[in-house]
Amino acid sequence: MLEPTDRRLLFELLRPPAGYRLSCAVGTTYSLDLLALLVTPLAFTLFDCETKEGKLTASPTALLESLRRYADNVTLFCQTGKIQPPTKARQLFGYLEQCVVEVAAPLGGVFHPKLWVLRFEPVGQQPDDEWPIEYRVLCPSRNLTFDRSWDTMLAIDGAYWPREPRSEENAPLAQMIAQLPDLTVRQPSTETYRQHTQLIAEELPRVAFEPPEGTHSIRFWPLGLESRDQWPFQEPMDRLLVISPFVSDGLLSRMSKDVETTIISRAEELTRLQRETLEQLKAKYTLDPAAESEVPSPTGNEEPVEFANEAVEDGQTKEETAQDAVQESLSGLHAKVYIADQDGEGHIWTGSANATDAAFGKNVEILVELVGKQEEYGVGAVLDPQNKNGLHTLLQPFIRPQQTDVDEIAEKLERLLDDTQMAIARHELRVQVETVTNAKEELFDLKVHATLPLPEQWLSAREVSCRPITLRETWQQAFADSLTATFQQLHFDRLTPFILFYVRVGVEDRTQERQFVVNLPIKGLPENRRERLLLSLLRNSAQLMRYLLFLLADDGWDARDTLKLLEGIDGTKGGSQDAGSTFDLPLLEPMLKALAKAPEKLDRVAQLVADLEKTPEGRAIIPPAFTETWQPIWEVRKGMQP
C-alpha cells in the first residue's frame, strides 16, 4: 500500500468503462488550471494518443470535438479567486465558461476538496440489470492543475440500482454534492450545474460501491459544510501515521494525545511547530530531497500536454503550442493520508484535509475512510522496512534547525495579498457586452464593473487592474474609483467572462504582486455564440474536412486511427489548402458506415453543415465535391427518421 512505484494518471481513471460514455460529471478543486480542464474531456473520448516517446499529444481537432461533446456534461466547482492565469489565450476556453462554478466555504475558511463523481451510461441501449448506470468516485489529493508533487488517488466504482434501498454509507457524499450549488459566489448563467448535482445526489444513495481489494467498508467524510468541529477519527487508536504537507500545533496535539503518532510532512512546516508539539510525536520524517527530483508529471510527461498536428490559434506552430504547458510550481509532498491501527484493523482516511485546525474547523474538505486488515492497511504496511518498495524508502528523519529566521514582512505581504484577492473574488462584479454602432465590421465593447462600492481591502492595495484573458498584458486597465474598466472595439473571439486581475500590495518599502482569474456573470453576448466560435476555429476547407472525420469517428480506436490518417495528408499540419484541393479525404466510407451503424453521427454533420451555410464565410469553406457526396446520404438519413 502507498508504494511509490504504483502510479496511476488522472486521465486513465477518467476513462469510461468499456461500452459506456460519460453522462455527467461533478468535480471539485481548490485551484484550477484552465488548460488542465480544457484537455480533461479528451479522457472521455479516447481521442488523445501518445508520441513515440510516450508523451500525451492533443490534436486541436480532437480537442474541439471532445469539448463540443462533453463540455456541457461537466461541472467543476472551485475556490473563488483560485483560477490560475493561462500562459496563452485560447478560443477554446470559451467552451469552459459554463463548466466552471466559483464557490466559497460557508464557515469562513476555503473551499478545498478534491473530488470527481462520474456518471456513465451504456452506449446504444437503455440501462437495465445487464447494463446499469455506472458510477466512479475519484478522491485525489491533487488540484486540477499541472503541479508536480507526491499525491494520492482513490478510485472506487459502483452500479446504480434504482430499485435497491437507499444506502446510509453514501448519504454524506450525496448531501455534499447536493449542497454545492448553495456555495456559489455568483449565480452562473445556466442551470446546468444544478441539474448535474441534483441527478447525482439523487442516485448516489442507491449506488453499490465496490470497496478496494483488501478492504471491507467505505465511509465518506465531508467537512466544513455544517459543523465547525467534525472529527472522523475513532478513538482509541493503537498507532497513528499522519501524512500531510501542512500541519498546525493544535491539530497535531489533538491527534497525538494518548496515541503513538508518526508524522510525515514538509521540513518548513515541521520547523514552525512548537517544541512541545514535536516532543509529543514519536517519529518525524520528511521526503528525501533525492526522492523529490523523481516526482512524476501528472500526465507522465515532463511537459503536461503537447498540442500536435495543427495550431489551436491562427499563426501558432506546434512548437509554440507545446510551450503553452504550464510550468509546475509545486514539488515535494502534497498527499494527505491518515492511517490508524485499531482493534486489529487498519483504518485509512485519504482526501484533501491537511493536518491543520482550519481543515477540520472551517474549510470545506473531503476524506474517504477505508477499513481493512491491519497487516495490509495499517501503519506497519506503509513504514515496514522489509518492503523494498515501501514509502519508507523515500523518507529521512526530520532534524529541527538550531535557528530559524522568519521574514515577518514577507508573511504580512502574503496575508495582505490573500485578503485582497478574496475581497476581489467575492465582490459583486459583472461583465456587460455592447455592440459598437457605425462600425465597418462587427465590433464590441466589454465592460467590467462593480455593482457595489469597493471593499476596504481592495482600496488598500497599491494597484488593482484587470483585463479579459483573451487580451494581451498591454490591455491591462486600472480598476479605480469609476468601478468600471472598459475594453473597446473587440472582435467577437475576444469576448469572455474570464477576467484576469493583477494586484500589487505593499508593506513599508516592499511590494508583492499576484495574478488570478475570476469567471464573472456576462450579459450581451451575441446570439449563437457557440456556433460562431466554431466557425472562427474552422478557418479553411482542410480544417473542416478534418473536423468532419472526427464527427464520424467512434469514441475509441477508430478516432485514433483517424488522427494517424490526418497526420500524413498532403504532408500538412493544418495548412491552408483551398476548397478545391481538400476533398481527397476518405469521407465516403465513414459516412456510409455511420448511415448503417450510427446514423445519429450524420445528424452532427448536418448541424455543422447547416451552421456553415448560414454565412458566406461558412459556405466558402465547404468543398463542392463534399456537397455532391453528402446530399444523397443525408436524404437517406432523413428518410430513416420518424
Tens digits of residue pLDDT in 300-344: 433 444 444 333 333 333 333 333 333 333 368 899 999 999 999
User: Architecture of 408-523 per CATH?
Assistant: Sandwich (2.60)
CB-CB contact of 341 with 374 (8 Å): yes
Long-range contacts of 86-90 (CB under 8 A, 24+ apart): 86/33, 86/34, 86/35, 86/326, 86/469, 86/517, 87/35, 87/324, 87/326, 88/313, 88/324, 89/313, 89/469, 89/470, 89/471, 90/35, 90/38, 90/312, 90/313, 90/324
pLDDT in tens, 46-104: 665 444 444 555 567 778 888 888 999 999 999 999 999 998 888 889 999 999 999 99
Q: What CATH number does the domain located at 230-295+331-400 have?
A: 3.30.870.10
Cell numbers found for residue 173 = 457524499
In the chain, domain spans: 17-212+298-327, 230-295+331-400, 408-523, 538-640
Q: What CATH number does the domain located at 17-212+298-327 have?
A: 3.30.870
> Do 17-212+298-327 and 230-295+331-400 share a fold?
yes
pLDDT band, residue 481 (cuts 50/70/90): low
pTM: 0.87
Task: Check pLDDT > 60 for residue 561.
Answer: no
Q: What is the DSSP annotation of 593-607? A: HHHHH-THHHHHHHH
CB-CB contact of 582 with 542 (8 Å): yes
Nearest to 363 by CA among 347, 379, 373, 352: 352
State how far the alpha carbon of 585 is from the alpha carbons of 308, 578, 592, 609, in Å.
Answer: 19, 14, 14, 17
Predicted local confidence at residue 542, as pLDDT: 83
Task: Check pLDDT > 90 for residue 239.
Answer: yes
pLDDT band, residue 123 (cuts 50/70/90): confident
Predicted local confidence at residue 6, as pLDDT: 56
- Residue with more model confidence, 35 or 329: 35
pLDDT band, residue 299 (cuts 50/70/90): very low
pLDDT in tens, 175-192: 999 999 999 998 887 899
pLDDT in tens, 443-458: 999 999 998 888 888 8
Predicted local confidence at residue 405, as pLDDT: 74
Mean of pLDDT over the chain? 84
Q: How far apart are CA 317 and CA 119, in angstroms?
A: 37
Range name among 32-36, 57-61, 120-124, 635-639 with the lowest pLDDT average: 57-61
Consecutive H or E run containing 157: strand 153-160
Predicted local confidence at residue 4, as pLDDT: 56
Q: How far apart are CA 229 and CA 207, in angstroms?
A: 28
DSSP, collapsed to helix, strand or coil, labels residue 286 as strand
Predicted local confidence at residue 276, as pLDDT: 94
Predicted local confidence at residue 353, as pLDDT: 97
State how far the alpha carbon of 117 is from the alpha carbons of 128, 334, 354, 499, 586, in Å.
Answer: 21, 21, 22, 28, 39
